A = this chain, B = another copy of it.
Amino acid sequence: MRTLITKIKELHQTETSDTNSKPITRVAGKAMAEIPSIKDAWLVIENGLIQGFGSMAELPELTADEVIDASGRMVLPAWVDSHTHIVFAQPRDGEFTDRIKGVSYEEIARRGGGILNSATKLNEMDEDALYAQSLERLTAVMNQGTGAIEIKSGYGLTLEGEMKMLRVIRRLKENAPIPVKASFLAAHAYPAIYKNDKEGYIRLIIDEMLPRVAGEGLADYMDVFCEDGFFGIEETDRLLEAGWKYGLKPKIHANQLHYSGGVQTGVKHNALSVDHLECVGEAEIESLRHSSTMPVLLPGAAFFLGIQYQPARRIIDAGLPVCLATDYNPGSCPSGNVPLLLSIACTQLKMSPEEAINAVTVNGAAALELEHELGTIKTGKKANIIITNKIPSLAYIPYDYGNNPVYRLIC
């Protein structure tokens, strides 16, 4: 099966096929403002892989089973959403109203709402029903251009509940047309019965859950909600060390509410990424500078909670890469809409459209170790791409906020 896309107005995020040139695996600092592009271009896909691309002026003679006329349309790599919690049982619209009336996220958690609320609902729900509605959410975000996704456990908080979530993620992996990665996040909150025995829950995770999860190959990564009042530095240290013993690379929640030292702990354990980062100062930047850990910002959650935004400019201006992800979850960000995330990143974090798009394509792929498979337009990579509606520029995607720029996702 060969598909030819012709007359593409602009083909974005192109990499040269020259085998001597270094592959683009992540972009940082000033380079984030650049997106290599070809105007009036063609692209050929064969058996799901990019077989070639170039300028229409140099279109080779070839036969194709399908020809897509992309006049007026942009083609670019699909979004990689590297941080989500889309397997959940119920929305939490009730708590939303409480928060508006001034109850803090931490206070809601203390009242047994928040994550524990989601855990109760999830443990009550049948695995098939959970799968069906998670697949519905996945399909909805694919319609908005998401071409690869990470999904976390963490609403089980029991051995059986966590296993159920991870099995649902595995079914999504097997059945969804896009790459899915699973993170094990039992350390998301302390379940009510361990309220006065936090050590007991840590031991449950390390001694019972991890061997089962790893034994069944249910997780790609180890995640911890590292935060004052949740899992502190010492607990995070132990959990990440335990995860590594089973080959689970860390990908952690850090510095959402406090300068907790979470970023430094992630870097110390060679985390693939540290995610959230509302609270980032010089120490965090210094730590990231000497690492390959990807800083992942989740401004959709900051928007929804009405808290301070992440200092994206400061991180980029320090020469670091920035990745953006949605954090799609029922409590702090009930949206997996990446185009809207780009709008928030541009208008609130003052990222340029190019920086924001790099953050959810190349850098998104890097945050899921998919940088050699997708994230740029390169011969041999997966054809994991978006064809946009007819739009005047790449900047129009975040500019036209609240509307979906995606005409078609190819994956």
In the complex, residue of chain B having the shortest beta-carbon distance to the beta carbon of A356:
B100
Contact of A347 with B306 at beta-carbon distance under 8 Å, contacts A337-B403, A352-B101, A403-B140 already known: yes
How far is B333's CA from A403's CA once the two chains are assembled, in angstroms? 12
Query: How many copies of this protein are present in the complex?
Result: 2
Contact of A348 among B93, B306, B393 (CB under 8 A): B306
- CB neighbours of A304 from chain B (8 A): 347, 401
Q: Write the nearest CB–CB distance from A280 to chain B, whole angstroms.
A: 19
Interface status of A105 (Cβ within 8 A of chain B): no
The interface on chain A, measured as residues whose beta carbon lies within 8 A of the other chain's beta carbons, has a size of: 35
Write out, one digit per residue, whether chain A residues 338-379 have a CB within 8 A of any chain B CB (1) or not (0): 001000001110111100000000000000000000000000
Query: Are B335 and A403 within 8 A (Cβ)?
Result: yes
Query: Are A97 and B353 within 8 A (Cβ)?
Result: yes
- CB neighbours of A97 from chain B (8 A): 352-353, 395
- CB neighbours of A396 from chain B (8 A): 91, 93
Within 8 A of B (CB), among A318-334: 334
Query: Are A96 and B346 within 8 A (Cβ)?
Result: yes
Contact of A334 with B393 at beta-carbon distance under 8 Å, contacts A101-B352, A306-B347 already known: no
Query: Are A401 and B334 within 8 A (Cβ)?
Result: yes
- CB neighbours of A353 from chain B (8 A): 96-97, 100
Within 8 A of B (CB), among A384-411: 392-393, 395-396, 398-403
- CB neighbours of A90 from chain B (8 A): 392
Listed residue (A96, A351, A395) with the most chain B CB atoms within 10 angstroms of its CB: A96
Interface status of A303 (Cβ within 8 A of chain B): yes
Query: Are A352 and B402 within 8 A (Cβ)?
Result: no
Q: Write the nearest CB–CB distance from A44 to chain B, whole angstroms.
A: 30
Interface status of A229 (Cβ within 8 A of chain B): no
Interface status of A94 (Cβ within 8 A of chain B): yes
- CB neighbours of A401 from chain B (8 A): 304, 334-335, 337, 340
In the complex, residue of chain B having the shortest beta-carbon distance to the beta carbon of A344:
B303
In the complex, residue of chain B having the shortest beta-carbon distance to the beta carbon of A309:
B306
How far is B99's CA from A348's CA once the two chains are assembled, in angstroms? 12
Query: Are B402 and A402 within 8 A (Cβ)?
Result: yes
- CB neighbours of A101 from chain B (8 A): 352
In the complex, residue of chain B having the shortest beta-carbon distance to the beta carbon of A303:
B347
Contact of A402 with B346 at beta-carbon distance under 8 Å, contacts A93-B395, A392-B91 already known: no
Query: Are B93 and A392 within 8 A (Cβ)?
Result: yes
How far is B400's CA from A94's CA once the two chains are assembled, in angstroms? 12
Query: Are B399 and A350 within 8 A (Cβ)?
Result: no
Query: Are A400 and B348 within 8 A (Cβ)?
Result: no
Query: Are A351 and B100 within 8 A (Cβ)?
Result: yes
How far is B97's CA from A393's CA once the two chains are assembled, in angstroms? 11
Further 20 A-B residue pairs, CB within 8 A, beyond A340-B340, A340-B402 = A91-B392, A91-B396, A91-B399, A93-B392, A93-B399, A94-B393, A94-B395, A100-B346, A100-B353, A101-B352, A102-B350, A140-B403, A303-B347, A304-B347, A304-B401, A305-B347, A335-B402, A335-B403, A337-B402, A402-B402
